[in-house]
Amino acid sequence: MDYLNGKLYLICAFSLAGTSVISARFVMGKLGTFTITAVSLFFALVFLVSLCGKQLVRYIPSMSFRTFLFLSLQALCGIFLFRMFLLSGLYYTSAGEAGILTGATPAITAFLAMVVLREPVSRRKLAGILCTVGGILIIQGILTPGNGLSLEHLGGNILVLCAAACESAFNTLSRISAVKAAADLKESSSPIAQTTIVTAIALILCLIPAMLEHPLQELSGIGLMEWAALLWYGVFVTALAFICWYSGIKRCGAFTAAAFSGMMPFTALLLSTVVLGESADYQQWLGGFLVIAGMILIGTEGRDAASPLSRNRKSRGKEQVKE
């Protein structure tokens, strides 16, 4: 049941994250990259502090320096660098294509799980990784003869792929942190408190570059739709998505997280056609299908190695039996 709940948390997390490309489209060209990030993080932080103020006061004193360091790295990779690359890439490519290109995240995360976390890889998982890579190549148009893709468009897609790599690094760091926290019985992890701290650190990182974009002048010129997009970006894409993420990653392994991160490009592709009215040709849909197929192959092979949470509970149960 714990493992199933973890999967549901991950589906919610990446589905909400997939709406980031759409909400960002409403403010692109009207606000600077770091202004968008800083304002949305401010909304997220206000929401989170009102949600878990007392819990945060209890969690911070018990937090070790190692945990703080890992959360700082997660804020750098998962929010600051991810949004910097994604928002910069959206200036040169479409929201639908950018959303699908974030589908590189499962393959990169699976690769890091093998290299960094030493998680075993089976033929099915390897096939899932190859499906994801093939989908990215088809979306990019590399396999299409006579592709007339401009260098500017290619540069935008490369920036989006850099965002996917940052997301994968965040996923791996979160998994390492979850395992270490579960191994240390003295330190309990709180998804809401973790999300609040990561959001606060990322906001601090964004403040200086945001001030260079003259944010007050830009913010005074936007309308209700843009403010609503920023609020959505903060509360749903950041706060709720990260709470679901931290709740899921402590119950599931890195390969499961890699698989369900494919929900991000799938959600972005659907919403870009429905909400923004962007057209997707057969090549994009074929690439998207391969990305989803890779997600299914990686995620349906069977349960990962026992989650740190379940292992922790089992070890406690054995200790109680011995006593």
Least confident interval from 45-49, 94-98, 231-235: 94-98
Task: Compute the distance between CA of residue 5 and CA of residue 235 in angstroms, rounded to an integer.
Answer: 22
Answer yes or no: is pLDDT of 273 > 70.
Answer: yes
| Structure-token match 């209890």, residue found | 58
Tell me what pLDDT residue 123 has. Answer: 82
Band of residue 105 on the pLDDT scale cut at 50, 70, 90: confident
The pLDDT of residue 189 is above 70: no
Q: What is the spatial distance between Cα 297 and Cα 131, in angstroms, rounded to a whole number?
A: 9
pLDDT of 7 strictly over 70 = yes
The residue-averaged pLDDT of 168-180 equals 84
DSSP string, 157-210: HHHHHHHHHHHHHHHHHHHHHHHHHHH-TT----HHHHHHHHHHHHHHHHHHHH
Question: How far, CA to CA in Å, does 115 sit from each of 67, 108, 118, 279, 307?
Answer: 22, 11, 6, 38, 19
pLDDT at 110 over 80: no
Mean pLDDT across 248-264: 79
Q: Which pLDDT tens digit goes with each residue over 51-63?
A: 887 888 888 888 8
Give the per-residue pLDDT at 321.
Answer: 38
pLDDT in the model for residue 96: 64
- Give the pLDDT of residue 314: 46
- DSSP 8-state assignment for residue 81: I
Task: Tell me: pLDDT of 192 over 60.
Answer: yes
The whole-angstrom separation of Cα 14 and Cα 266 is 10
Q: Which residue has the higher pLDDT, 21 or 189?
A: 21
pLDDT at 139: 65
pLDDT at 310 > cutoff 60: no
Average pLDDT over residues 59-68: 85
Average pLDDT over the chain, rounded to an integer: 79
Confidence class for position 47, pLDDT limits 50, 70, 90: very high
Amino acid 223: pLDDT: 92
